Structure 1
Amino acid sequence: MKFRSAALATTALLMSTASFAGVVTSSTNIEFLAIDGKKPATSLLKSTNSFNVNDSQMHQVVVRVSEIIRAGSDRELFESAPIIISFQGSQEDVVISAPRIEDERDAKNFKKNPTISVKTVSGREIATKQDTLAQEGFLPGVNLVNTLSDYNTSGAAASVSSLATTAVPAAVAGFATKANKGKVIVQGENVAEQQLQYWFQQADKETQARFLDWAKKLK
């Protein structure tokens, strides 16, 4: 009897401290750019469209909304700025969705108010904090993880401090192999400067000379 009571007590304790995972999916017009501070695994054929969340943990995703919209008599691609969404995990499966964007007016309205819905499959609204992720440089997508890490240290609206890391600037990390060979050395106060240095060192002597002549004329 005592053994049975002890077993029940142990089970209850484990249940009280256990965490449960739900699966997050998205509407077809959403792409996950980052999940909990990291880029999702992708291939040439498909990107990550689902991941697990823990109900005892704060999660953060960066998404982009993409739609082919009507522009007069033509069609064109609309892509939103990266949108940060922070939310508490759930035991239930979760769906992250964006409204349909069909024309230029829809696109304009979404740019003004880029709100993303986060709900459980049973329809319960999950509280979120949302913000847009400002990016800079020639290749902003390359630097997204580092930009997000900086954002998470800033205390901004949708930041999650536990996901902040001390990462090497992407402009350096992305070309580390060449730098190690002594061909490219990138140093700079900001991303734009780092990328300018990289592309300058990639150019041939004639192109470098033309660039320097152009830069002198701007003084």
Structure 2
Amino acid sequence: MSLKNVILKPVALCALLGLSTSVFADVTITLPSNVDLLAANSETPKINGNVFSNTKSITLPDGENQIVFRYKPVFRQGGDTEIVTTEAIITKFTASDVELTFDIPEYRSAELARDFDKNPTWKLVDKDGNAVDVKQDKLTNPGFQIGRNYDQESVAYNKKGGIAAITATGALAVTEAAIQSPAANSQYKTTEEQMLHYWYEKADKETKQRFLQSIIQAK
């Protein structure tokens, strides 16, 4: 059985390959060192860069997105170091084909930085300083805070329908946009076949191997 003979709907294919629609990445967010990104679209964020990188970023699809982050500044005075860890913020925004950065106030002390929880005045801005409209809320979890799963907490938050919630309809918008994309290639007989090849090429080596193995086992 060849790949061309395998017909799957785009959404089902996403699940099969273990990938998210975030591979259609047209929005880039640069992450400052004092921002800890905890989740993106109810998944573990795929950060561009490593622990040694001076600049880190995340790429997201055009359209509506949701991220969870925490403001985590470090203050040094003399030989002492103090890290302020604020509450997690869940936020949604809509953007397309743009590079964004966090604009967060610079606090002179740890004591002042703790006021961020009471008044989280931050922005996502483009290179010209224009701010993207965001809806934000606190992502709270009563009880012991170590080992939280922000992916699952985001899903639960969305089901409850908070101010920064994303609906299932919004989550499928990227896939629908991809189907209507002018990138369609005439060599494919169907949209499903085109999407199958697209997702397969986007997958990493291990995912491709698992996918091919599942086809062999299904013969």
**Structure 1 counterpart of 2:140, one-letter code:** A
Query: How many residues are treated as equivalent by the alignment?
Result: 145
2:124 counterpart (87, 108, 118): 118
Q: Does 1:94 align with 2:100?
A: yes
Indicate if the aligned counterparts of 2:45 and 2:58 stay in contact, CA closer than 8 A. no
CA distance in 1, matches of 2:110, 2:25: 42
Provide the C-alpha distance between the structure 1 equivalents of 2:139 and 2:119, rounded to a whole number of angstroms.
14
Deviation at 1:90, TM superposition (A): 2.3
Identity of aligned residues (%): 28
Indicate conservation of the 8 Å contact 2:26/2:96, yes or no.
yes
TM-score w.r.t. structure 2 length?
0.56
Question: Pairwise mapping of residues 65-144 of structure 1 onto structure 2 (< 5 A)?
Answer: 65-69=71-75, 74-144=80-150
1:49 to 53, 56, 62: 56
Distance in 2 between residues matched to 1:53 and 1:96, nearest whole Å: 15
Q: Structure 1-normalised TM-score?
A: 0.56
Matched, 1:38 2:39: no
Which range moves more in the overlay, 67-76 or 104-113?
67-76
- TM-aligned CA deviation for residue 144 of structure 1: 1.9
Change (3 A) 1:33 1:160: same
- Separation in structure 2 between the aligned mates of residue 20 and residue 148 of structure 1, nearest angstrom: 20
The answer to whether structure 1 residue 21 and structure 2 residue 26 are counterparts is yes
Q: Which amino acid aligns with 1:35?
A: A
What is the alpha-carbon root mean square deviation over aligned residues?
3.1
Asked if the contact 1:29–1:65 (Cα under 8 Å) also holds between the matched residues in 2, the reply is yes
Q: If you compute each CA radius of gyration, which structure gives the higher value, 1 or 2?
A: 1
> Is the CA contact (8 Å cut-off) linking 2:68 and 2:150 kept in structure 1?
no
The Cα of 1:126 is off from its aligned counterpart by: 0.5
Gaps of 5+ in 1: 1-18, 165-219
Deviation per CA, 1:57-76, whole angstroms, max 9, x where unpaired? 21011111111236899541
Retained in 2: the 8 A contact 1:29–1:98?
A: no
